[in-house]
A = this chain, B = another copy of it.
Amino acid sequence: MEFSSKLLERAVNEMSQLPGIGKRTALRLVLHMLRQPKEQTVILSEALQAMRNDVKFCKSCYNISDQDLCEICASPNRNETIVCIVEDIKDVMAIENTSSFKGLYHVLGGKISPMDGIGPHDLNIESLVSKVKEGKINELIFALSSTMEGDTTNFYIYKQIQEYQIFTSTIARGISVGDELEYADEITLGRSIVNRIPFESSLKL
């Protein structure tokens, strides 16, 4: 791609560093900014820099927060004895959106993935084990993605905390609401039959 302006080229190159943004999309975004008032670009850059420089991670659960302790961990209305283990903050937001969980979270910051060079020590696992060791937690909920890496991470953590004999659970795997049975993969369908629940309890949800 040939640019008639070095400034334009630099802006497009920097934008295209972002994931999923190619050169063409970056050019479209940058040309849009040129059509908007200058203040708009200033506001965007300042918002990004303020976020990058000043955002904190909750010292207890590693959720993103403006304070040392995030709103969820600081809330007196949450059950501190139930902790839900998630991969990243998008998962916290997704579960919070359902309003079905009133415990705390623990954000790992990723999954164990040897292919990507991510080992257990790159994740927030030690602090989770310490919490369990302190005896504050009654139940740990594994809520990672149902992939090889997710299962590996679940199992690694399970092994670490096994000796403390707390109750561990994992989110239900099954047919998604609205899904056609014939298109479900056989592992999901098989598990959903093996782990069937009383019909009456499905009416309560």
Residues of A whose CB lies within 8 Å of any CB of B are: 1-8, 10-11, 13-15, 17-21, 25, 27-34, 38, 40-56, 58, 63-66, 70-72, 88-90, 92-93, 96-97
Contact = CB atoms under 8 A, between A and B. Distances in A.
Given A48-B45, A52-B41, A20 B28 contact: yes
A44 B52 CA distance: 12
A192 to B, nearest CB: 27
Of A33, A50, A51, A58, the most chain B CB neighbours within 10 A belong to: A51
Contacts of A56: 5
Contacts of A55: 5, 7-8, 34
B71 A4 contact: yes
The A interface, classified by DSSP as helix, strand, loop or mixed, is helix
B4 A90 contact: no
Nearest to A39: B52
A27 to B, nearest CB: 7
Contacts of A6: 66
A19 to B, nearest CB: 5
Contacts of A58: 4
B33 A48 contact: yes
Contacts of A44: 14-15, 17, 45, 48
Contacts of A89: 4, 31
Contacts of A3: 93
Contact of A50 (B2, B7, B63, B93): B7
28 contacts: A2-B93, A3-B93, A4-B63, A4-B71, A4-B72, A5-B51, A5-B55, A5-B65, A5-B66, A7-B51, A7-B55, A7-B66, A8-B55, A11-B47, A13-B47, A14-B43, A14-B44, A15-B47, A15-B48, A18-B29, A21-B29, A31-B90, A34-B52, A34-B55, A34-B64, A42-B52, A44-B48, A45-B46
